[in-house]
Structure 1
């Protein structure tokens, strides 16, 4: 069989300028719009993508191709006289193969689509091996986690990726439109923002050379007291993967007024659950000259903005989630976008839970940290699906940097609860008073030397400021209805799992 080459691009002579970049024509462009681009009927187009299905009939062959730009496939109709048809006969064009197709758009004979591509020429760019593991139309999400490199080719994970992209775009758009400056916070840090100690250590003290492979622990330098000699490490001190960009964002908020970070964070929590990841992304804005009320208003406006963006711009994917993942997800998101958020104090929330005619797994009392079952009861049952903001938590269950209220028992902290997820956003007014912050560090036996630069912000032009953190994967879960957080990120990292 004669080998068919992928259509070549013309290369200019030496000294010519680089060609103009042009956006590729995607399936989403062809099939988008209210009339599914019937105005393109008669046009000759090129489509590139991956074969989803091949149906060979007596007089015609149907290919379903997808390029990832939309949930919809492009139906390609081939007669035996199409150039490259022998690749169908030989089995080269099979599920999983990548193809280049040229043809004319025609009105479809079927009811599933308005236009289809009458193929004039097809080229196999990359053949699909028969061992392709996602041949079936539907496979379990558990199985697909073991094939994270291929799962974006499925309907579910392609849709999750597009909605995740839309949420990320809307995040930047919201903050940029509201005068915030994006800050890239460090991945490696010597600080523990949460004070919980659940951090991944970054070190070069453990040898990676083959000579020390048999006894790497013996090669770690020690002090005279038998402790690890961190002075010989790369940074000269213990260093960790960041658990939050908040403290660093505060430094820029006290100079640029309103800033936000959006990047990866890490927790060495040994929690092998559907709610936890070891690596996840966080959105963390900081507002200068702001209090807790400003913080809650910003969080509410942000969430409603990104939800509206997804509903307006990911309609096909949201219909898919509404049909196959969570019936009612669109209504739930519309409620968030349109309803007023309920606000109540932690003390009132505890009272509400104590009166609930429901038995909780975790006992409820003032001073307890609210669990997911408590949060979901409040937003899903007590307030009938309305988002709820709980404020003024006991200081003993919150972080050192939160501003102490006048009662001496609570801090100006807030959590935003949403149906199905529970806590989606956590924030607070930060403690801007140097003496209060130093006392709190002492109470928690945290080293003031480690936070010297953070304390400096209170020495030199301190201002009231506030901010919040949002786990991006939980937002993706909330928007899509996906139950397991490991399906809300391209390559999940969890205890015992860092394959890809």
Structure 2
């Protein structure tokens, strides 16, 4: 008999029909005459209840069924008399596809800490929390591709292995085939990269932006969606060594066009989540409220679904970095030195606490900051006429601060060349990027959205390691 996924089975009303479901046991409880098995197959956060008569046929099978076991069940679809469920299956035949020893299976039906589940990442998809996150993550991948496809963008696969540093940060993972126990050296004692695979130093990419710009300067509108890597030795709840980035690049877009697209995209995917992931969002909302019930009222997060609707409710506020600095310098937390990083003058690099103050306290709306000091932004951003600022933009959200960073790109060859020279970026590794400013250069813009940062916001989770299936962090390379 063909299997019916539980997601669709729960919607059926053709009671009396024989159906087949397959899945993993969440719980089993039994009395003398009847047993109830909660079965889940990952298609939905909801379980289907299997009702089993305890008789000679099923008694031996029930002894083999424990939490975590995989079953195939044939039975009659029936209207449930229990609360919280519309249908159940009255079992006629049960096959144990895979047993789970109750003395060894680590995910018993009780609450487990997120730290414990990170150690069991090969099994944590079996929990409600992580199955919900995985389904939302998938929905957002689909929504992002759909958003760009509807607007005639082309998806470009940019290199994972690169010879350039897009951000100029230098925190990159090196890629090499050299024998690290016997590294070849030049006559002056330096590593002889001519004997390496690529004949030059190579790294894992921190961004697909620069290569994306090349494609945009021919196809007009492109986006990348791929893995990126940062060798930043940071063990915080906001950092990963391997993460995914969405990076659109658009020819003929100025900064205003860029901000319009960023706001439109964020609202689109959040609307998609509310329309297609409500069961999972409601579960995660209840989970968050349970986690925070012992916090003071003013320390609790905004309710998850309310927070998502908050993003959709009104246009984002748009203001310059200079105006934001004025607001922050005159704010009570700054004057009373409650900020961990007190804002003392124009030119300060804003921290998450400052960004959240603007969004959550001052404007009570998402904020897009523009026109940052050139000294704290990347080399490729378009320089303003004041000689001090660049056409940068950061989108700020409640609870997490920056969710998108972008800019209008510098299209003037001489200005870009001078900036590269001033920052001591090797021209030999950037010649191809500079050449695009010589042959039909146009105003163009783009931004980057950290995918895990988006999923963190959408799920209400507090640690970024819990919104990617297999987190890569310092001293952690399991699974």
The bucket for the TM-score relative to the shorter chain is: over 0.9
SS at 1:157's partner residue? helix
Q: What is residue 356 of structure 1 aligned with on the other side?
A: 331
Instruction: Please give the residue correspondences for 1:41-52 in structure 2 after superposition, counting only pairs within 5 Å.
Output: 41-52=15-26
Shift of 1:81: 4.7
Tell me how far apart the structure 2 counterparts of residues 306 and 268 of structure 1 sit (CA, whole Å). 29
RMSD: 1.3
Asked if the contact 1:148/1:490 (under 8 Å) is kept, the reply is yes
Shift of 1:448: 1.2
Q: Aligned pair 1:346/2:325, yes or no? A: no
Tell me how far apart the structure 1 counterparts of residues 361 and 248 of structure 2 sit (CA, whole Å). 30
Shift of 1:25: 2.5
Q: Aligned pair 1:383/2:363, yes or no? A: yes
Asked if the contact 2:33/2:55 (under 8 Å) is kept, the reply is no
Q: Aligned pair 1:186/2:146, yes or no? A: no
Tell me how far apart the structure 2 counterparts of residues 284 and 85 of structure 1 sit (CA, whole Å). 57
Tell me how far apart the structure 2 counterparts of residues 188 and 405 of structure 1 sit (CA, whole Å). 33
Q: What is residue 442 of structure 2 aligned with on the other side?
A: 463
Asked if the contact 2:67/2:109 (under 8 Å) is kept, the reply is no
Asked if the contact 1:265/1:280 (under 8 Å) is kept, the reply is yes
Asked if the contact 2:209/2:247 (under 8 Å) is kept, the reply is yes
Tell me how far apart the structure 2 counterparts of residues 45 and 460 of structure 1 sit (CA, whole Å). 64
Match of 1:298 among 258, 261, 266: 261
Asked if the contact 1:390/1:414 (under 8 Å) is kept, the reply is yes
Question: Which segments of 5 or more consecutive residues in structure 1 lack a partner in the other structure?
Answer: 1-6, 8-21, 208-215
Q: What is residue 79 of structure 2 aligned with on the other side?
A: 107
Instruction: Please give the residue correspondences for 1:82-481 in structure 2 after superposition, counting only pairs within 5 Å.
Output: 84-88=58-62, 91-130=63-102, 131-206=104-179, 216=181, 219-326=182-289, 328-358=303-333, 359-364=338-343, 365-384=345-364, 386-481=365-460
- Give aligned pairs, total: 461
SS at 1:274's partner residue? coil
Shift of 1:104: 1.2
Q: What is residue 75 of structure 1 aligned with on the other side?
A: 49
SS at 2:428's partner residue? coil
Tell me how far apart the structure 2 counterparts of residues 469 and 82 of structure 1 sit (CA, whole Å). 62
Q: Which runs of 4+ in 1 moved over 4 A?
A: 81-85
Shift of 1:129: 2.1
Asked if the contact 2:26/2:109 (under 8 Å) is kept, the reply is no
The alpha-carbon distance between structure 1 residues 82 and 171, as it changes in their structure 2 partners (threshold 3 A), is farther
Shift of 1:338: 2.5
Tell me how far apart the structure 2 counterparts of residues 180 and 400 of structure 1 sit (CA, whole Å). 26
Q: What is residue 12 of structure 1 aligned with on the other side?
A: none
The alpha-carbon distance between structure 1 residues 182 and 266, as it changes in their structure 2 partners (threshold 3 A), is same
Larger deviation: 77-86 or 244-253?
Answer: 77-86
Shift of 1:289: 0.7
Tell me how far apart the structure 2 counterparts of residues 418 and 267 of structure 1 sit (CA, whole Å). 23
Tell me how far apart the structure 1 counterparts of residues 121 and 197 of structure 2 sit (CA, whole Å). 33
Asked if the contact 1:85/1:122 (under 8 Å) is kept, the reply is no
Deviations 1:249-288 (A, max 9, x none): 1111011110000010000000100000000000000011
The alpha-carbon distance between structure 1 residues 124 and 440, as it changes in their structure 2 partners (threshold 3 A), is same
Shift of 1:30: 1.6
Tell me how far apart the structure 2 counterparts of residues 283 and 78 of structure 1 sit (CA, whole Å). 48
Question: Which segments of 5 or more consecutive residues in structure 2 lack a partner in the other structure?
Answer: 290-301
- Tell me the TM-score normalised to structure 1 length: 0.90
